[in-house]
Structure 1
Amino acid sequence: MSARSHTYKTAHKTNRRDTAPLREFTARFATGEEIENWDKHVTANPNGGNMLQSAAYASVKNGNGWDVRFLVLESGGAASYNLVMEKKFPVLGRLWYLIKGPDVGAAADLKPALAACAEFVKAAKLNVFAIKVEPDIVDAPEVQSQLAAGLVKAPNIQSNDSTALLDISAPENEVFRSISSRARNAIRRAEREGCEVVQREQGPETYRALYDLMADTVNAKGSMPLRSYEYYARFWDEFCDRGQGSFFFVYEDGKPSVGAFVINYGSKATYKDGGSTQNRKQYGDSHLVQWAAIRRMKELGCTEYDFCGTPPAARIKDKSHTLHGMGMFKTSFSKTVTDFVGCYDFVLAPVRHRLWVQGAERVFRRLETMRTGNQFY
């Protein structure tokens, strides 16, 4: 019997004081039809899915250091569709990375959902030694206490495990009033002084313009690593080909001076990539780019705008943090920082996982970077 044909379920043990049984989950691989319509299913997840679980992202990562699997978790007639990235290592076996998943409705659902995954991979003989998870569950002390029993904290991977989220579901004038006076004044001044935002079509010329701006920013501020141009070109292609990506630019002295790539995925918009030249003359140009992107995302039906990465809430004013400047800019639109729980390991083979955290991961990451020049995750 193939792995795809297996379905396994698990449940919380019911506390004697409970008046009703807790949720059961089953785990299986997606059918061909489900994979064909993957984005439709993911955006119907309990939390609306995430662009890093999309078909476009699966296409970018599949064969680019990872094998992609499409996992379905089901409970009570409802389903959650999750992208799994898989790597195989000598001796250790397979690592599963549920990027921005599993997408479950509540923190209490996480462990039974993962237990269903564990039963599934065991019965299907997939030899998975650990499942790396990073659900979009907002951090809180009571959530941490639930995760501490059974999961091992791992270093965070994605930049938006702490982020600024803006509700853009209200009418445009109300959204504008909800951002800070500093941001509103910057947008108005840029408009008064004739700054204009241009949307550009996908293609090599647009890609090179944004990539050069990103490189300029990284060279000046060193706030984050920059992947190869080829990686970004493929990434932008995949999302744009599906109608899920938009480019926004402003110009100074006839050249691009600020650029942004924003993804619309279901009801969520994500400011994924951006960059700018240094020492610009136009005041408020970067704020105006974001406001133009927000307006466009509203037109496309998005109700939430993710600025994709800030320092954690407790360090938002810490000038020593590498994302301090970005955090100050992004929180001028959304006054609060949302901290998600971040990355954890669900351990299936304790001895092999111990080897992983005690040095194997570091060695394999270094080897892959030396061999391909790419980032590991």
Structure 2
Amino acid sequence: MEACLITDVRKWNTFIASSTFGAITQTYEWGMLAQRADSIPLYCGVIDEAGNLCAAMLVLAMRLPKVNNSYFYAPRGPIMADLSSPAFSLLLHFVDSLARKHNAFMLKIDPVVHEHDIAALQAFERYGFAATDSFIHERGEWVLDIYPDEKQQLANMKEKWRYNIRLAQRKGVKIRRGHGSEDIQLFHTLLQETSERDQFFIHAVDHFEYILSLFERDDNAALFLAEYEGKAIAGIIVMRCGDWCWYRYGASSSQARHVMPNHLLQWTGLQWGREHGCTHYNFMGIPAVLTETEGPKDPNWGVYTFKRGFGGQAHCAMRSQEKPYNLTVYRLYNLVRQLKHRYASARYERSELARKRQEYTVKKVEEPVPVR
């Protein structure tokens, strides 16, 4: 076996598509997307005696601002059948050699494997990794099996979700495939409204133009727009790799929400995945705590209840793994990261306290004055 950088795009993507859990963020195109954001993609692979790929890991060399260091990050890697095989050792030694060339102070991996995979955990520990709760790619995802029979798919949904899909159709919501700059701009305008409403970061419109230009080539991505009375009111971008389909981005207007466009959009995304032979539909991020008593405190709880209405189950990946190369820089980075986390947590707690005070004030104002 030999470890090397892989330049054959088709060979790489064919192997990535064979992954059990799927890994759109390990595809060749994802590395090209990261390169646009000033990261350096390194397509690290192990070739066996027959000349076939037997292990692969897209590693992104990510430069830290204002310092002469970078760190390596593997989003949902490595891809291989058995992490206890010699190929994993060979792959990691090759990545270590590249780290010296790129002055990387650590290798960070958000593994694609399940959290209860003991053999995988032992393999990471054996090669000097330590688990951390700091992640880039969220561990918790909501996964739905795609059934060949649409009636069975509908039967597994909550009754209200089936009703909402049909309601949108009866109300005249039309779903169409989006193409070109004009449709991407329509989607981005909706996304801007969504981000202002729900307070999250979004990329510029050219980021989404580039995503679709990369992944639409082999029909591995699709933009769907929901229109009502001739106006776009919601949209999603779905992507696929191997047996898996992902709901990657979603946007919706505050107007015409009563016609339930998002239910019909997700149903369209499911059908698109089924038509391409996918067996799993990944709704992606869900809260870390899923109990009814604790979960509703999470700002993503409403999104989670929407996703689970379609049926499916929670999937939690293994904790993020980090292997330091330069302990001094790594410890300094860890300290800064902890301080940022504390600041973000304190800011969130203050905003929650302000929200609760506002709710209490509104409630007191709305309460009728007792007659004496």
Give TM-score scaled by structure 2 length.
0.78
Q: How does 1:107-256 map to 2 (within 5 A)?
A: 109=83, 115-123=89-97, 125-126=100-101, 127-140=103-116, 142=118, 146=122, 150-159=129-138, 161-200=139-178, 202-222=179-199, 224-256=200-232
1:51 alignment counterpart:
24
Q: Distance in 2 between matches of 1:180 and 1:27?
A: 51
Task: Tell me, yes or no, if the aligned pair for 1:86 and 1:95 is still in contact at 8 Å.
Answer: yes
Task: Tell me, yes or no, if the aligned pair for 2:109 and 2:320 is still in contact at 8 Å.
Answer: yes
Task: Tell me, yes or no, if the aligned pair for 2:61 and 2:104 is still in contact at 8 Å.
Answer: no
Q: Distance in 2 between matches of 1:171 and 1:357?
A: 49
The verdict on how the C-alpha distance between 1:171 and 1:278 changes in structure 2, with shifts beyond 3 A counting, is same
The verdict on how the C-alpha distance between 1:80 and 1:348 changes in structure 2, with shifts beyond 3 A counting, is same
Offset at residue 252 of structure 1 (A)? 2.4
Give TM-score scaled by structure 1 length.
0.78
SS at match of 1:337: strand
The higher radius of gyration belongs to: 2
Q: Between Structure 1 and Structure 2, how many residues are aligned?
A: 331
Task: Tell me, yes or no, if the aligned pair for 1:169 and 1:302 is still in contact at 8 Å.
Answer: no
2:37 to 64, 75, 80: 64
- State the one-letter code of the partner of 1:180: K
- State the one-letter code of the partner of 2:28: A
Q: How does 1:1-377 map to 2 (within 5 A)?
A: 28-32=3-7, 34-45=8-19, 47=20, 49-73=22-46, 79-88=54-63, 93-105=69-81, 109=83, 115-123=89-97, 125-126=100-101, 127-140=103-116, 142=118, 146=122, 150-159=129-138, 161-200=139-178, 202-222=179-199, 224-314=200-290, 318-359=295-336
Q: Which moved more, 1:127-136 or 1:203-212?
A: 127-136
Cα deviation 1:305-344 (Å, max 9, x = unaligned): 1112111253576222121121111111134321112422
The verdict on how the C-alpha distance between 1:74 and 1:343 changes in structure 2, with shifts beyond 3 A counting, is farther
- State the one-letter code of the partner of 1:350: L
Q: Distance in 2 between matches of 1:94 and 1:172?
A: 48
Percent identical among aligned pairs is: 18
Cα deviation 1:27-53 (Å, max 9, x = unaligned): 722343x335432221124x2541111
Q: Any unmatched runs of 5+ in structure 2? A: 341-372
The verdict on how the C-alpha distance between 1:141 and 1:292 changes in structure 2, with shifts beyond 3 A counting, is closer
**Bigger helix share:** 2
SS at match of 2:259: coil
Offset at residue 177 of structure 1 (A)? 1.5
Q: Any unmatched runs of 5+ in structure 1? A: 1-25, 364-377
Q: Distance in 1 between matches of 2:87 and 2:264?
A: 42
Offset at residue 145 of structure 1 (A)? 6.7
- State the one-letter code of the partner of 1:329: F
1:12 alignment counterpart:
none
Offset at residue 101 of structure 1 (A)? 0.7
The verdict on how the C-alpha distance between 1:84 and 1:205 changes in structure 2, with shifts beyond 3 A counting, is same
CA RMSD of aligned residues (A): 3.0
